[in-house]
Amino acid sequence: MALVYEKKWKIFFLVATSIFMSTLDSSIVNVALPYMMQDLQTDLKTIQWVVLVYLVIVSSLLLTFGRLSDIKGRKLVYVMGFAIFVAGSLLCGMARTPLSLIISRAVQGGGASMLMACSPALIVDAFPVQERGKALGMIGAVVAAGLTTGPVVGGIILEYLSWRYIFYINIPIGTAAVIGGLVVLKGAGSGTGSHEPMDKTGSILLILILSGLIIFMTQISKWGMMSIPSLSFAGLGILAGIAFLINETKSDYPLFDLELLKIKLFIFPVMSSAILFAALFVIIFMMPFYLTYPCGFSASKTGLIMIVPFLFLLVVSPVSGVMYDKIGSRRLCMTGMSVLSISLISLMTLHPSMGVGSILWRIALAGIGTALFVSPNNTVIMSCVPLPRRGIASGAVATARNLGMVIGVALAGLIFTSSFSTLTNGSSLENYLAAMEPFFMISFKRTMAMGAVLSVLGIVVTFARGKEHVNKG
């Protein structure tokens, strides 16, 4: 009995390590973007792909690797995922051109998607039913801790070392985790799978959907709405989407069970989750540039400021989980989305002459709103889905979250770059001068306004889920 007890907590520690590192890596890079842009002598349109390609790859492959872990076993996917993540980190640190960094981030994202896809399943496999809620709740705290630590660690590294060390730091920890995975997961019930066939067509089509639409969104300002490249990539995403729906209907072993789309308390919360993370990442992506350029803050100070939303996420998330048991998700999620809207609207009034306190309370609202929303929203999704489909539902939630992040970064980059370039007669952010501050602030406010529109749409979608009739037990 004691051996079983020890085994499950070893697995928990392994999973916590993978989740902490993958979330840390997604938040640590945002603080480093201005430094990467300067060192590699590139522009905002290009450097945003360091964030985007990671999120696109993770979003595209989550369902695929989640399904693969069911078929081939968790151990194989987990260990391979960490090995690829470490290799990608090494390549990122060694990159000497923007293109090589973006390609390396794609490799790293592939490894991260393998880790994210099978980590919750490893916890469910290892813990008895009565302990799964507690274990998954603790994993939620690890996610918040990773997002919180990223900006601080990134700020300290950038203050004293090259931005390359934000990737090198992953190598010793990741290598130890690969060895740990081989040892701890041996005979843990995670090494075998169902050996059912893989929906390879669905996996490829999902990648084409996301790649086509994201490239369309990020390049539209450069190519123009009605240009051949824009229409080609938009058409690719739409056609792949239609083909995906047809394929999933006909497949005996689909990547995604389309029956879930008939469940109102699944589809509307998943949609609102994507919208919330899109609005949130407008803030997360743009704030480091605001703090670095008009405000002139150091990397360490920027990192400390960017920790604030995630601190509130860490503190408020458990409270919203308890409140869900009493009042359900609809009111909590609408309140959370409304608070995020207020944060975005208040950021439109921000000015570099204001004190740090004026920045902190505005971005703190974003953290509070997100914390009020996420836990109840995820709980209602998992509560309304039949038990045999909870793995697919979990993958869909993670995909929606990451897709939302991608959309937020893409739209923020599009709005800001288009506005700033127009106002400065073609100048880009890497050539920033103090005289450009008014143009930066106009572009910044327009970007925040777009985020506010997204969050208001999120309130409408959240309301549309209707009343709940789910078993919260």
Nearest by Cα to 39 from 109, 104, 92: 92
Q: For residues 135 and 57, state if they share a domain.
A: yes
Q: For residues 189 and 227, state if they share a domain.
A: no
Task: List the CATH number of the domain containing 169.
Answer: 1.20.1250.20
Exposure on the CB side of residue 252, measured as CA atoms within 13 A? 2
Percent of the chain at pLDDT > 90 equals: 31
Q: Are 31 and 302 in contact (CB under 8 A)?
A: yes
Q: For residues 359 and 440, state if they share a domain.
A: yes
Rounded average pLDDT over 432-448:
93
To which residue do tokens 């703190």 refer? 364
pLDDT band at residue 20, thresholds of 50, 70 and 90?
A: confident
Task: Give me the DSSP letters along 380-447.
Answer: HHHHHS-GGGHHHHHHHHHHHHHHHHHHHHHHHHHHHHHHHHHHTTT--GGG--GGGHHHHHHHHHHH
Q: What is the pLDDT of residues 38-72, one digit of tens each?
A: 899 888 778 888 887 887 888 788 888 877 877 77
pLDDT at residue 398 greater than cutoff 70: yes
**What is the number of other CB atoms lying within 10 angstroms of the CB of residue 422?**
13
Q: For residues 271 and 241, state if they share a domain.
A: no
Q: For residues 290 and 378, state if they share a domain.
A: yes
Range with the largest mean pLDDT of 16-20, 216-220, 362-366: 362-366
The last residue of a domain, from among 252, 267, 287: 252
Rounded average pLDDT over 147-175:
84
To which residue do tokens 């890497």 refer? 430
Angle at 56 between CA 54 and CA 60, to 5 degrees: 120
Range with the largest mean pLDDT of 12-26, 398-412, 453-467: 453-467
Task: Give me the DSSP letters along 309-366.
Answer: HHHHHHHHHHHHHHHHHHH-SHHHHHHHHHHHHHHHHHHTT--TTS-HHHHHHHHHHH
For residue 141, give every residue at least 6 positions away whose Cβ sits within 8 Å of its Cβ, in sequence order, or none: 314, 317, 318
Q: For residues 145 and 263, state if they share a domain.
A: no
> Domain range holding 440?
259-473
Q: For residues 335 and 471, state if they share a domain.
A: yes
- How far apart CA 63 and CA 74 sit, in angstroms, is 14
Residue 129: what pLDDT? 60
Residue 102: what pLDDT? 94
- How far apart CA 115 and CA 107 sit, in angstroms, is 13
Q: For residues 146 and 3, state if they share a domain.
A: yes
pLDDT band at residue 470, thresholds of 50, 70 and 90?
A: very low
The last residue of a domain, from among 252, 271, 287: 252
Determine the number of helices (DSSP H) and then strands (DSSP E) in the chain.
Answer: 16, 0
Q: What is the pLDDT of residues 225-244, one digit of tens each?
A: 788 988 999 999 999 999 99
Rounded average pLDDT over 219-224:
74
Residue 391 burial (CB < 10 Å; 0-12/13-18/19+)? buried
The last residue of a domain, from among 180, 197, 214: 197
> How many domains does the chain divide into?
3
Angle at 399 between CA 154 and CA 239, to 5 degrees: 125
- How far apart CA 104 and CA 111 sit, in angstroms, is 11
Q: For residues 214 and 154, state if they share a domain.
A: no
Tokens of 367: 């953290």
pLDDT band at residue 414, thresholds of 50, 70 and 90?
A: confident
pLDDT at residue 220 greater than cutoff 90: no
> What is the average pLDDT value for the chain, to the nearest integer?
83
pLDDT at residue 471 greater than cutoff 60: no
Residue 2: what pLDDT? 47
Q: For residues 312 and 355, state if they share a domain.
A: yes
Nearest by Cα to 98 from 56, 37, 145: 37
Residue 3: what pLDDT? 45
Q: For residues 437 and 466, state if they share a domain.
A: yes
Q: For residues 168 and 248, state if they share a domain.
A: no
Rounded average pLDDT over 94-116:
91
Residue 131: what pLDDT? 66
The residue ranking higher by pLDDT, 296 or 152, is 296
